A and B are shown apart, each in its own frame.
Chain A
Amino acid sequence: MAAGHDDTGATATAPTPARTSHLMEALAVSKHFRGVHALDGVSLQVAAGEIVGLIGPNGSGKTTLLNVLSGVYAPTSGKVRCDGRQVEGFRPNRIAHMGVGRTFQNIRLFGHLTVRQNVEVGSVSGHASKGVDHRADVDRLLGRFGLAASADVQALNLPYGAQRRVEIARALAGRPYFLLLDEPAAGMNETESDTLLETIMGVRAEFGCGILIVDHDLRLIMRLCERIHVLAEGRTLAEGTPEEVRHDPTVIDVFLGDALKDT
């Protein structure tokens, strides 16, 4: 497979050197909403430099897991660890300060702020924001994601694809060890999804962070991820390499069943 990130090689001064020791873990995490078991004892690990896919039918708890990992929800039970430190129940900003960045399923930019300001917020509020040349950092990220020309446009006036890129740039501006991407390929066609694949590969190479990606685009997930975690009805259905997951009969069953329901 062509790991197409030629463009990233040009950026010699990566803002954060590749890290190897960072680990984010969910340990037997459950989340119940008034009796609905959105998550039921799910365990998952993401290490620095690793791309992990999180897939499953609608309502299987993927976004809930991302929300628990990023502090939006406190889990009903179970633990979340960031580099060995227990962080479940922390506010999202504290978890962000542990080096966790994220994007949202339905893009959540700071709409009336300019693209540059959006990325700046990430840069000055991230976990390693002391002694950093924010201006250079922001400029580089804007250039890196093809946003330099629209730096002074209000974010809400950007086209959809560019807004997705701003969200990723904003998350990366905080120099995260882990990047959680919630359906970054939603609404994209095959060409755009291929570009996104290259972008995410490039981000890993350049920033060295561990990436957890939720998406329905199996074509993207299968090519992108080293490991895939399959959820169904809040439980782990399967876990393994793309090859293993692809041939897992239970996975085939759930996805095929889902596909049949749709027709």
Chain B
Amino acid sequence: MNRFLHSLYVRNVASTSGLLIGILAIVAVIGALSAGTGSSLTLIIPNFFITVIIVIALQMFTGNSGVVSWGHAAFVGIGAYVTAWLTVPAVIKSDVFRAMPSWLIDAQWSFIPTIVVATLAGTLVAALIGIVLCRMKETAMAMSTLALLVIAHGVYANWFGMTRGAQGVYGLPQNTTLWGAFGFASLAVIVGVMFRDSRVGLRLQASREDPLAAEATGVSVVRSRYIAWVASAALAALCGSVWAQFNLAFDPSQFYYTQVFAVLSMLVIGGMATMSGAIIGAGVVTVLSQILYDIEAGSLFGITVPRISGLQQMILAIVTLLILIYRRNGILSWWELDEWVRKGKERFFPGGRPRGGRPVSGDKEGG
């Protein structure tokens, strides 16, 4: 463990993930309090937690490596379809999945085993694709992930016997609860923070900054990217499984461009380099989308407003652009939330720390 978390002392995993999970817990409590009130929060909050998982998955790869992946929705899809295969009751299955082998028709698995198998399925596919993908140059790799997205969509939309094509899948049991979603989001936070502070994470960030210098320093860029690619796809597949068991029905259009751009805009808005950025980005976009959705529907906080359709996408695009122009590295830029808190404390209560330094141990020789 110590070997894995070599730089624990530099960026405190406990303080970063503790603070972020704390924030998620507050949101979860709000969700729990709204249960039974008929408020839309009972849907929005678990969906927010699920969004947090996929944003963290993308942060693990794209945030640390600097290589954009358009293809993660493919792994969300794998997670979701495998979940449907394992959980939909046999009666519905024979109607929905015409080509399903009989041994699979009888399968009706519970929550956790389903998630484990769905995650493994995504991991396996990513491990195979990654062998080719991670040897490519940055731009070629990004383009290939786009191809992956299109190919995966083609499979989901046309493998009728196992996906029911564009008509989509239904009949999944609602196994994902508010607290289940919260639990997996928290797990994702811990995994993401630990990954970033692991040796592989550090090497990957070095390769993001300068691939040649990283190689000359002994970093195998291909290997680091591969590990990140597989780990991140695993988390995306897990997200797909948790999501499918909350949404209960889905079709191939839900693993495509719109979703990819939404998740990327969350990363861009919050800040790709940090876990806090990923989560803040998910939060900002969720809240903003909801407000805009209400406006589109003609009512905001109970007040009637003029209907403007398409507003949601337009405003999100404008916000993303503004962030790219005025705060290129996102709201959080390069520091985690707890580091900002510490920086703020230092500014207002200076306590003899060396200029510009974050309060970390090991600064013995410091002036």
Asked whether any CB of chain A lies closer than 8 Å to the CB of B334, the reply is: yes
- How far apart are the CA atoms of A96 and B362 in the complex, in Å? 27
- Cβ 8 A contact of B362, one of A101, A139, A153, A154: A139
Query: Across the interface, which residues of A come within 8 angstroms of B334, CB to CB?
Result: 112, 154
Interface residues of A in 90-115 (CB under 8 A from B): 91-93, 96-97, 101-102, 104, 108-114
Asked whether any CB of chain A lies closer than 8 Å to the CB of B213, the reply is: yes
Contact A148 B363 (CB under 8 A): yes
Query: Across the interface, which residues of B come within 8 angstroms of A117, CB to CB?
Result: 7, 10, 202, 205-206
Asked whether any CB of chain B lies closer than 8 Å to the CB of A31, the reply is: no
Query: Across the interface, which residues of A come within 8 angstroms of B7, CB to CB?
Result: 117, 120
Asked whether any CB of chain A lies closer than 8 Å to the CB of B166, the reply is: no
Which range contains the number of B residues in contact with the other chain? 35 or more
- Cβ 8 A contact of A124, one of B203, B357, B363: B203
- How far apart are the CA atoms of A108 and B215 in the complex, in Å? 12
Contact A114 B6 (CB under 8 A): no
16 extra A-B contacts, CB within 8 A, seeds A108-B212, A149-B354, A149-B366: A71-B215, A92-B212, A93-B219, A96-B217, A96-B218, A101-B217, A109-B209, A112-B334, A120-B6, A121-B219, A122-B217, A134-B6, A142-B365, A148-B367, A150-B356, A151-B357
Query: Across the interface, which residues of A come within 8 angstroms of B203, CB to CB?
Result: 121, 124-125
Asked whether any CB of chain A lies closer than 8 Å to the CB of B214, the reply is: yes
How many chain A residues have a CB neighbour from B under 8 Å? 45
Looking at A72, A92, A97, A129, the one whose CB has the most chain B CB atoms below 10 A away is: A92
Query: Across the interface, which residues of A come within 8 angstroms of B214, CB to CB?
Result: 93, 110, 121
Asked whether any CB of chain A lies closer than 8 Å to the CB of B74, the reply is: no
CB distance from B332 to the nearest CB of A (A): 13
- Closest chain A residue to B354 by CB distance? A149
Contact B363 A151 (CB under 8 A): yes
Query: Across the interface, which residues of B come within 8 angstroms of A142, CB to CB?
Result: 365
- Closest chain A residue to B209 by CB distance? A110
Query: Across the interface, which residues of B come within 8 angstroms of A148, CB to CB?
Result: 363-367
- How far apart are the CA atoms of A70 and B214 in the complex, in Å? 12
Asked whether any CB of chain A lies closer than 8 Å to the CB of B26, the reply is: no
CB distance from A150 to the nearest CB of B (A): 7
Q: Mark B184-217, 1 if CB is under 8 A from A, else 0.
A: 0000000000000001001101100110111111
- Cβ 8 A contact of A143, one of B10, B212, B216, B365: B365
Q: Mark A169-196, 1 if CB is under 8 A from B, else 0.
A: 0110010000000000000000000000
- How far apart are the CA atoms of A143 and B210 in the complex, in Å? 25
